[in-house]
Chain A
Amino acid sequence: MNTPNNVFCDGLARRDFLRIGSAGLLGMNLTLSGLLRQKALGAASLKEPSFIYVFLQGGLSTIDSFDMKPDAPSSIRGPFSPIRSKVPGMDVCEYLPKVAGVTDKFSLIRSFTHGDAGHGAADHHMLTGYHPNAAFNAGLSPNNQHPSMGSVIAQRLGTKGSVPPYVCLPGMHPSASSAYLGPNAVPFIIETDPNSPGFEIPDMQPPLTIDAARIADRQALLSRVDRFQRSAEQRANANAAERSVFAERATSLMTSKDAKAAFDIQREDPKLRDAYGRSTLGQSCLLARRLVESGVRCVTINHQNWDTHSKGFTTLKDDLLPKLDLAMSALFRDLDDRGLLQSTVVVITGEFGRTPVINKDAGRDHWSRCFTVAVGGGGIHGGRVIGKSDAQASDPADSPYGPEDLCATVYQLMGIPPHEEMLTQEGRPVMLTNSGRIIRDLI
């Protein structure tokens, strides 16, 4: 007998997985992929990879932005015109002039496709790589049947420095949580808008009436009265030990200059803040860059209002595209300027695209059969167009890719073998990606 029966598709024995998995209990960097990656990286000269997922909830109209069809009939092509960009063949919408200047820093997958044109399920599919099953209740928050990409990354790579491994802002998309990966893979959620004037993280700072000296007094007093701290009881109870770890991490988060600085967007040069755009989207992208710079593994930005059914062109032209233009161009340029683009994967997409045919309300409806996803950084070649849509952008004309493939590619770039397994609460093995293929043309 040469084949063990508890080896799964990826050739990994389940018990190895369990053993390694349980060592990662405290979110320490002891996961299998973490170990493999550490081994592979050897010298610490390479920056560790991170991931920024800009999710344009509602569904960016890619036929009006990244995959325009100027030769299609007027009922399809819409009122906007394409413009040349820095890379020949990568024309973009006239309302994305700044993005046109950075097309060498990212690529477009124009043959992206999946099968669900309903918001909740499509969101889940795009954020987790798994289309939800019939029991899915989009109204719940979180509604994850499978862990979000950020949760998988947090669980596999663990914490680095004093910042949390996975951050969602502003607020958390209901499909961005950890499902069966449990509390350690739950995102740290920034509920407030980074574009708001007095932006800060809840509970990151003591109340105004408590000054630093008093906080120090309190902490010192606590360390003397907490009789179970460093006690036999604490060592014998994993939950007590774990709470002590979190308390320490909370203290280091609030006292660490790095962590405080990471969340403190006010420290940015006002000119750079302007470059990102003084919008929720722009400032969220800027904060995301600050966070990955300080060791956050994954930031998921959930930006809403992209569901442009009625007066869609007006909304796109006057509001959404100008915001995206500033935020997206500034993000790629800024990451590049800081030498972070090589180690930071950026994905910008909605849960689907929009109908080729314009509706009666001067907008477009949901269309999941073909849309464009922008991806860059972290080892992805810039300036490439992957796949083609047909003449009306209604179906992929070649090499169709789906959310599973996007997941596999991102995990691969993050140093996480995409065909590893995770276990549900019932102990059922589930692959990190649902048979996703790595999109080799991107890398």
Chain B
Amino acid sequence: MFGGPIADRPKTPPPTFAMFRPLLRCLLLLLGALQIQAQETRDFVHDISPLLSRFGCNGSACHGKAEGQRGFKLSVFGNDPRADFEALTTQGRGRRVMVTAPENSLLLTKSTASVPHAGGPRMDENSREYAILRDWIKSGLVYEEKHRPNWVGMRMDPPETVLGFDQNQSLKVIARASDGREEDVTWLAMFHSNNPALAEVEETGTFKTGSTIGQAAVMARFAGQIAVHQVTVPRPGTPNRFEDPAETSDIDRLVNKNLRRLNLKPSEKVDDAGYLRRVTLDVIGRLPSPAETVVFLEDKTQNKREKLVDRLLERPEYADLWALKWSDILRVDRRTLGHANAFAYYEWIHQAMENNLGLDQFARQLLEAEGPLAQNPAGFFFKVTKTPGEMAATASQALLGIRITCAECHQHPYDRWTQSDYHGMRAFFSQVAYKKVGLEEALFAEGPIKTIHPRTKEVLHAHPLGTPMPEDDPAGDRRQALANWLVASENPWFARNMANRLWAHFLGRGLVEPIDDVRASNPPSNPELLELLTLILKEHHFDQKSLIRAVVASDAYQRSSAPNDTNTADELNFSRALFRRLPSEILLDAICDVTGVPEKFAGVPAGRRAVQLWDSEQQSYFLKLFGRPMRTTACVCERSSSSGVSQSLHFINSANLQLKLSHAKGNIALWLSTAKEDAAFVDALYIACFSRRPTGEERAEGLAYLQTRANRRQEAAEDLAWSLLNTLEFVFNH
């Protein structure tokens, strides 16, 4: 899936091969045994460092943390074997390893806890790990036997399984050496499951499924290599057959294929009212107006959903919503940039969304911004990210969905990225500097700036992730070379990340999740579907609106949120619509739209809605309470959609909300005065809040409440509105 020699999953062997498998296993075991028998001289790089990783000695909570533990400091995850070798052999007053009396070495006595060890016993004296450590000490503490081959690849056997509940499966980890030899390194590998509830993995490489339906990835890590096993646990019970109708789209064929594999049945199609509210909130970030709702509900044309989407995509609010989203990711941060600059930066983003700039062009303009910043406000990206390292990390996360920050200081623990990859990306940005042109500040990027590997001190040349390092840095402004690579059709990540982000926006969950954490150890839940979406985006020249059309037209998007008897437990596979809490700005705007009383923001022109605020520092108790990102990182995790007691208290008791309900010129008063009958008022309220008419029962409930309080009709109407605003149906998109 992720290409490259390291994460490659082997193809299923042809049937004839299976016959030889046991034989091959024996051979492998024999080879392994031979290797031990042969008493090849133990060395630190090949034998000891992997053991220190295997036992977690160099973990970030133990000796691997910046301060070390009890004076013994190892590089985290064995990133710097030379330093670890020194720490063992020359520090600690020579007590850590004693060549003359290996058994008295602290390395052994601590590992077996025969002297007190805060980390407890890690091995016993009869283990083969112990023997390896002892032999290494005895044979004189060799750092590296240069002739020994290095590990260049790794795979899991089997690569994937389909299992039922509560089943055990053992995995083998096979590493490939530079001389082509394969070795079973299961006993040296560390395992990690991305979903322990579904597949809980033991240290031995055996995992056990639970009673959760879905897919999980079990990762093994050894000597800088990563391999992933994918396990699928279908819903037990009689297979639930459902057919794809002839007109099923390619997207839905792939979604449904996955559902069949998991023995899940999709929920029914959402009704018109549900679709209208959902798609309007998702495409333009506001509730449909009552007039729009009535027209849409009464429209009898066949393709009215499609026509609705076409209209929404041309609405000015479209740009407001998507500018807000990109302002979070690209960090329109007033604290760092100042008012004027942050506003200019926002305006550039807003313009790009308004003009439906291709996402490739958007990324290129961002990465290549140069000249006076006032005329090239995309350049504020570099002002807000400040250092070349942060520019590289932010660009990677925002545009590729890859987090490389770990690799600044050490090998990424769950991916293949090394410090060379990180600093190779950093080198693209190290030319960025500023000068005064007249009175204005201008960004320029030129000159032979060198990039040095912080540990090895080698000179590194700029090279994109996953590509070999060239002989020299690209000529001129290196960022152009990065932009060229990024938008090229063969780029493995950019289009895929954009497609995944869009899918996640509409479906509530990415195919890769978190959407900005693409890793070998975090595979997509439906790889074929992600490929298809990526293809759609590329075929339409990175036109976001084209992909949106395809997504919101899919059955997967148009499902009801009501679960059926198969999919209550499924939140991963798009078998039903998920509940998503409205983001703070959209929620506040929704309250204002329903009540007809806009919110006033200090220093902002009247009538500007919350979703149009460019400054996430804008004073607002409501927005603060319901979650706004600080925009200090590109991480989408900064935008919290969580709930809390204070939020609920606010909905229940807020004086501001009550003012909006009781406002003399607000909608409640207006509808009361214009509605000839109470029933019309109840209908108006339901249409405004939920974009649907009340059921007969709901109408009767509302009427009863109003009519038993006929002497204080306004108050009763406020109460009804208050109740609707406090429902899950209002606060969530569903």
Contact = CB atoms under 8 A, between A and B. Distances in A.
B719 A217 contact: yes
Given A15-B196, A225-B701, A243-B648, A8 B56 contact: yes
Given A203-B654, A209-B658, A251-B652, A9 B630 contact: no
Given A233-B734, A242-B643, A250 B578 contact: no
A18 B726 contact: no
A233 B61 contact: no
Contacts of A428: 60, 413
Please indicate which of the listed interface residues A164, A188, A226, A247 has the most CB atoms of chain B within 10 Å of its own CB: A247
A245 to B, nearest CB: 8
A226 B728 contact: yes
Contacts of A419: 118
Interface string A229-241: 1001111111110
B648 A426 contact: no
B561 interface: yes
Interface string B20-63: 00000000000000000000000000000000001110011110
A252 to B, nearest CB: 9
A50 B308 CA distance: 57
B231 to A, nearest CB: 15
A3 B651 CA distance: 52
Nearest to B689: A225
Interface stretch (A82-90, A99-107, A430-438): A430-438
Nearest to A235: B568
Contacts of B562: 232-233
Contacts of A198: none
Given A1-B127, A5-B55, A209-B658, A232 B568 contact: yes
Contacts of B204: 1
A6 interface: yes
Task: Identify which of B197, B571, B649, B650 gathers the most chain A CB atoms within 10 Å of its CB.
Answer: B649
A254 B579 contact: no
Interface stretch (B173-181, B486-494, B634-642): B634-642
Interface in B324-349: 335
A426 to B, nearest CB: 7
Interface in A1-17: 1-9, 11, 15
Contacts of B187: 1
Interface string A22-38: 10000000000000000
A5 B54 contact: yes
Interface string A146-183: 00000000000000000010000000000000000011
Contacts of B563: 232-233, 236
A44 interface: no
Given A3-B55, A205-B653, A221-B705, A9 B62 contact: yes
B592 to A, nearest CB: 18
A203 B118 contact: no
Q: Which residue, B581, B705, B715, B728, has most C-beta atoms of chain A within 10 A?
A: B728
A119 interface: no
B69 A435 contact: yes
Interface residues of A, number: 72
Interface string B190-226: 1111001100111110000000000000000000000
Interface string A344-366: 00000000000000000000000
Given A5-B56, A15-B196, A428-B60, A434 B67 contact: yes
Interface residues on B, range: 35 or more
Contacts of B62: 8-9
Contact of A224 (B414, B567, B701): B701
Given A140-B632, A246-B647, A222 B727 contact: yes
B649 A3 contact: no
Nearest to B635: A425
A182 B728 contact: no
B242 interface: no
Q: Which 8 pairs, one residue from A and one from B, show the smallest C-beta to C-beta distance? A: A250-B648, A237-B579, A183-B642, A4-B203, A203-B649, A228-B728, A5-B203, A226-B727
24 contacts: A1-B127, A1-B203, A2-B121, A3-B55, A22-B197, A139-B335, A164-B645, A188-B645, A203-B649, A207-B653, A207-B654, A225-B701, A226-B727, A227-B698, A232-B568, A235-B568, A236-B571, A239-B581, A239-B642, A240-B732, A243-B648, A251-B648, A254-B649, A419-B118
Interface of A: 1-9, 11, 15, 18-19, 22, 137, 139-140, 164, 182-183, 186, 188-189, 202-207, 209-210, 214, 217-218, 221-222, 224-229, 232-240, 242-244, 246-247, 249-251, 253-254, 419, 421, 425-431, 434-435
Interface of B: 54-56, 59-62, 65, 67, 69, 118-124, 127, 187, 190-193, 196-197, 200-204, 335, 403, 406, 413-414, 517, 561-563, 567-569, 571, 576, 578-581, 621, 630, 632, 637, 640-655, 658, 662, 698, 701-702, 705, 715, 719-720, 722-724, 726-729, 731-732, 734
Given A11-B120, A233-B734, A247-B648, 16 more contacts: A4-B203, A8-B59, A8-B62, A18-B196, A139-B335, A188-B645, A218-B723, A222-B722, A225-B724, A226-B723, A233-B728, A237-B571, A239-B641, A247-B726, A253-B645, A425-B637
